[in-house]
Structure 1
Amino acid sequence: MPHFLAKDLFLQTPFSEDGYEFLYQARSLRKPNESLICISYGKHIFFLREVERKKDILIKAEKNTKPNPTGILKGALRVLAKRACVISHNLNEDSSKQTNQSDFLLKPSQIMSMELNDFCIEIGFGSGRHLLKMAQENPDQKYIGVEIHTPSIEQILRQVQLLDLKNIFVVCMDARILLEILPSNRCQAIYIHFPIPWNKKPHRRVIVPALMNEAMRVLKKDSMLHFRTDDEVYFKDVFESILSEKNVRIEVAKNLSNTIVSKYEARWQRQQKNIFDLKVFCLKEDKEQKIEYDFNFDFFDIKESICESQKIVRQDYFLHICDVFKTQDKVILSVSFGNFNQPVNKMVIFDKKNQEAFYFGEKPLATCANVMAHQELLKLLAEDK
Structure 2
Amino acid sequence: MLIRQFQALRMHAPRQFKPVSSDSICVEIGAGKGKHALLFSSINPEKKLFAIERTREKFDAMSKQHLLEGQKNLETIHADAIPWIVHALYPKQVQQFFILYPNPEPHNPAQRWLNMPFFEFLLSRLAVHGTVTLASNIPEYIEEAEQQLKNVWKLPFEKQKIQSDSARTHFEIKYLERGELCQQLVIRKPEDYQTRFDDFMPLQGKTADLDGTLEHQHEQ
Q: Whole-Å Cα distance in 2 between the matches of residues 258 and 278 of structure 1?
A: 18
Question: Quick one: structure 1 residues 277 and 291, their matched pair in 2 at CA, closer, same or farther if it must change by over 3 Å?
Answer: closer
Match for residue 81 of structure 2? 175
Match for residue 245 of structure 1? 153
- Letter of the 1:184 partner, please give it: P
TM-score with structure 1 setting the length = 0.46
Quick check: 1:183–1:288 contact (8 Å CA) kept in 2?
Answer: no
Would you tell me which structure has more helix in proportion to its own residues? Answer: 2
Quick check: 1:199–1:233 contact (8 Å CA) kept in 2?
Answer: no
1:294-337 CA-to-partner distances (Å, cap 9, x unmatched) read xxxxxxxxxxxxxxxxxxxxxxxxxxxxxxxxxxxxxxxxxxxx
Deviation (angstroms), 1:375? 5.0
Quick check: 2:167–2:173 contact (8 Å CA) kept in 1?
Answer: no
Higher relative contact order (Cα pairs below 8 Å, separated by 6+ residues): 2
1:148 has 2:59 as partner: no
Question: Quick one: structure 1 residues 374 and 150, their matched pair in 2 at CA, closer, same or farther if it must change by over 3 Å?
Answer: farther
Quick check: 2:157–2:188 contact (8 Å CA) kept in 1?
Answer: yes
Count of equivalent residues = 194
Tell me, which stretches of 5 or more residues in structure 2 are unaligned?
A: 1-14, 216-220
Match for residue 116 of structure 1? 22
Quick one: which of 130, 133, 139 aligns to 2:39?
A: 133
Deviation (angstroms), 1:188? 0.9
Deviation (angstroms), 1:175? 1.8
Q: Whole-Å Cα distance in 2 between the matches of residues 152 and 373 of structure 1?
A: 35
Q: How does 1:156-235 map to 2 (within 5 A)?
A: 156-181=62-87, 182-235=89-142
Deviation (angstroms), 1:262? 1.6
Q: Whole-Å Cα distance in 1 between the matches of residues 117 and 171 of structure 2?
A: 26
Deviation (angstroms), 1:172? 2.3
- Letter of the 2:153 partner, please give it: E
Q: Whole-Å Cα distance in 2 between the matches of residues 187 and 252 of structure 1?
A: 21
Percent sequence identity over aligned pairs: 17
Q: Secondary structure at the match of 1:139?
A: coil
1:373 has 2:213 as partner: no
Q: Secondary structure at the match of 1:373?
A: coil
Deviation (angstroms), 1:210? 2.1
Q: Secondary structure at the match of 1:125?
A: coil
Q: Secondary structure at the match of 1:159?
A: helix
Q: Whole-Å Cα distance in 2 between the matches of residues 245 and 258 of structure 1?
A: 32
Quick one: which of 245, 258, 261 aligns to 2:168?
A: 261
Would you tell me which structure has more strand in proportion to its own residues? Answer: 1
Tell me, which stretches of 5 or more residues in structure 1 are unaligned?
A: 1-105, 293-363, 379-385
Q: Whole-Å Cα distance in 1 between the matches of residues 177 and 31 of structure 2?
A: 21
Q: How does 1:224-373 map to 2 (within 5 A)?
A: 224-243=131-150, 244-246=152-154, 248-256=155-163, 260-284=167-191, 287-290=198-201, 365-366=205-206, 370-373=207-210
* Structure with greater Cα Rg: 1
Quick check: 1:227–1:278 contact (8 Å CA) kept in 2?
Answer: yes
